[in-house]
Structure 1
Amino acid sequence: MSTPRILDDIGAKLAEIAAASPARDIEKNVRALLGSAFAKLDLVTREEFEVQREILAQATRRLAELEARVAALEARLEGRNDQG
């Protein structure tokens, strides 16, 4: 028997044992339990988080622009009031 064939046989046997073992059932139960717990939490995906982060960054930039415009308009208004 060649070495790759032996490794394939060992891998197949280990997979067979793992599939039939109680560890497999425990893994399924733990996954189900964690899935249920995560479903109850208010979690978002990384993609959703990144989209919201970009929206917030755009809103922050826009707010800074608007604040600068308001300050400029207030300064102009003050200048007119001082002249009048």
Structure 2
Amino acid sequence: MIDPKIVDDLARRAAEAAPAGMGELQKDLEKNLRAGLSGLFSRLELVSREEFDIQSAVLARTRSKLDALEKQLAELEDSLRDKSKPS
């Protein structure tokens, strides 16, 4: 999931862009932006870079194991084919 600090930082920066002297409006704007951005990011089902890298590594290991199993199966099939051929 997206780091809440990023959402807070985005909301704070956007609120600071509001005209000076509108302190209460800035606070409300920041609060509403934080809620809106959090909701948006959760609906987008974004993941952190760390989680993505972990899942990529898991997928690579799984792919490697699958390749090894496919090779082993092909060798077994060849072995069975050789044994079943008439001599």
Q: TM-score, normalised by structure 1?
A: 0.63
Q: 1:19, CA displacement in angstroms?
A: 8.0
Number of positions where the alignment pairs a residue of Structure 1 with one of Structure 2: 69
Tell me what 2:72 maps to: 69
Mark the CA change 1:39 to 1:74 in structure 2 (over 3 Å): closer, same or farther: same
Give yes or no for the alignment of 1:29 onto 2:32: yes
Which residue of structure 2 lines up, in the alignment, with residue 60 of structure 1?
63
Worse-superposed segment, 31-40 or 71-80: 31-40
Rg larger in 1 or in 2? 1
- How far apart in 2 are the matches of 1:75 and 1:66? 14
Query: Relative contact order, CA 8 A, sep 6+: which one is greater?
Result: 2
Gap regions ≥5 residues in structure 2? 1-15
Distance apart, 1:24 and its partner CA: 4.5
Q: Structure 1: which 5+ residue stretches go unaligned?
A: 1-14
